[in-house]
Amino acid sequence: MPKALFIICCLFLGAHTYAQQKIDITEISQHTGDSVTVCAKVFGGIFLSAAKNQPTFLNVGAAYPHQPLTVVIWNNTRKLFSYKPEEQFKGKTVCVTGKVELFNNKPQIVVQKPEQLEAQ
C-alpha cells in the first residue's frame, strides 16, 4: 500500500509541475523561463520569407515595437498551419501557451505546434 501511495503522489506532483500557469500579459516579463498561457490581442504580424529560417512574428499586447510579447513561429512550424498566422490572428485575441524566453531583453514564446495558439 505505501508503494502505491508513493506512485500516486509522484504522478500528481509530476502533472502539477507541468501544468501551464495562466498569466496576464502585463506580467509576462516576470515569467522568463516559465511555461505559461497568456491571452491578449494580436496587434500585427509579419512573415519574413527572405530571412534565415523564415520566421513569422506576432506582436501580442501592443503594436511593434512596444509589444510586451512576441510570438515566434519558425518556418518548419509554420508549414504545420493550414493558414497564415499573421493574417488569421491579426486583430484577434489569442491564447498562446509555451515557455517564455528573452530575445534582446524582450519576452517571446516560440511556438512548436499550431495547438499552442488559440483564437478567442
**What would the pLDDT profile of 20-33 be if each residue is shown by its tens digit?**
799 999 999 999 99
Q: Is the pLDDT of residue 1 over 80?
A: no
Alpha helix stretches (DSSP H) within the chain: 2-17, 75-78, 85-88
Domains defined along the chain, listed by start = 20-119 (2.40.50.140)
- Closest residue by Cα to residue 70 from 83, 53, 89, 84: 89
Sign of CA dihedral 33, 35, 40, 45: positive
Q: What is the mean pLDDT of residues 43-67?
A: 98
Q: What is the chain's mean pLDDT, rounded? A: 89
105-114 per-position pLDDT tens digit: 999 999 999 9
In the numeric block, which cell numbers belong to residue 21?
500557469
- The stretch 26-49 carries a mean pLDDT of 98
pTM higher than the cut 0.85: no
Q: What is the pLDDT of residue 20?
A: 77
Q: What's at 22, amino acid-wise? A: K
